[in-house]
Amino acid sequence: MKITVIGAGNVGATTAQRLAEKEYGDIVLVDIVEGLPQGKGLDLMEAGPIYNYNCKIVGTNSYEETDNSDLVVITSGLPRKPGMSRDDLVKVNADIVKSVVGQVVEKSPDAILIVVSNPLDVMTYVTYKVSKFPRERVIGMAGVLDTSRMRNFIAMELNVSVENVHTFVLGGHGDTMVPLARYTTVAGIPVTELIPEDRLDAIVKRTRDGGAEIVSLLKTGSAFYAPAASIVEMIDSIVKDKKKILPCTVLCNGEYGFYDIFIGLPVKLGKRGLEQIIEIKLNKEESEALKKSADAVKKLCQGISF
């Protein structure tokens, strides 16, 4: 495999590190800052003899080295600063993503694109429109991260292993995301039987504010360890054709009653990318929350011109 990571900041560089350690294939790290991807790429290569990975890692400021990539991860864009919402980034990051996608598609017309840039749902929509790729090959990373955060908070609350906690978060990657407590279990036990409603509501709120909480703590950046791990989990299912069901941002063609909108849903990921959108039964409250989330994403997308 050949995997390109666009953006050599914290998310991109950490993603490249995790990919190298798993030896999925050769890696190209791209960034506009001269020397940054080259330096980080070389640094990662020099860690290979210690961690026993043999993949080639190339840092570059151009897209020439990205040709014929199988997977392309797009992390480009400005990060959030304290007080900023993901939505504040729409216009500036849309222009960045448009430029990036145009160059990626020219060099790798058969690649699967994984979008990480914020606001995630809108940038995945922008990527889809610019690339003109089928929906199976344009996927946004959001739900895997949000779900991981919720699993972690539940495990912390109950003092149990995170491996016992299973849940997923749907909807847009922002304040309107839809954590589904009703579908959450701990070692098969419904979480509603283990955590009081008020504490569960607090966990849901902390999940929604998970990114902002880290931004406020770091003050000069945003989360990158968990986002990178989330990207790699998606790539793992694609590269190994595991067909794992993961919450990802995908284009709806009638699923859940939505059309022509990217939103987080449970999907099956395999070697072709998106292989199936899993439709689960939602109650009235959950359906209304998902529709509210979709409406918020659609509103942001309407302000972008192509």
Q: Which domain holds residue 257?
A: 143-301
pLDDT attached to residue 202: 96
CATH number for position 277: 3.90.110.10
Question: Which one of 140, 172, 191 terminates a domain?
Answer: 140
Question: Which one of 140, 159, 190 terminates a domain?
Answer: 140
- Asked if residue 306 is part of any domain, the answer here is no
Single-letter code of the amino acid located at 74: I
Residue 152 shares a structural domain with residue 256: yes
b/e for 163-199, b at 16 or more Cβ within 10 A? eebbbbbbbbbbebbbbbbebbbbeeeebeebbeeee
> Which position among 107, 149, 173, 208 bears the catalytic label?
173
Question: Which one of 72, 107, 140 terminates a domain?
Answer: 140
Residue 283 shares a structural domain with residue 152: yes
pLDDT attached to residue 128: 98
Whether 173 is a known active-site residue: answer yes
DSSP-assigned letters across all residues of 86-113: GGGGHHHHHHHHHHHHHHHHHH-TTPEE
pLDDT attached to residue 80: 67
Instruction: Specify the number of domains making up the chain.
Output: 2
Structural tokens at position 171: 């909807």
Residue 133 shares a structural domain with residue 258: no
Average pLDDT of each block of 10 consecutive residues along the chain (306 residues)?
97 98 97 98 98 96 97 89 71 92 98 95 96 98 96 98 96 90 96 96 95 92 95 98 98 96 97 97 95 93 84
Residue pair 195/160 in contact by the 8 Å Cβ criterion: no
The three-point CA angle 32-21-114 to 5° equals 50
Task: List CB contacts of 153: < 8 A, sequence separation 6 or more.
Answer: 203, 206, 207
pLDDT attached to residue 77: 87
Residue 133 shares a structural domain with residue 150: no
pLDDT attached to residue 184: 97
Residue 154 shares a structural domain with residue 136: no
Residue 290 shares a structural domain with residue 155: yes
Residue 233 shares a structural domain with residue 267: yes
Phi and psi at 116, nearest 5°, equal -125, -20
Residue 107 shares a structural domain with residue 165: no
* pTM assigned to the model: 0.95
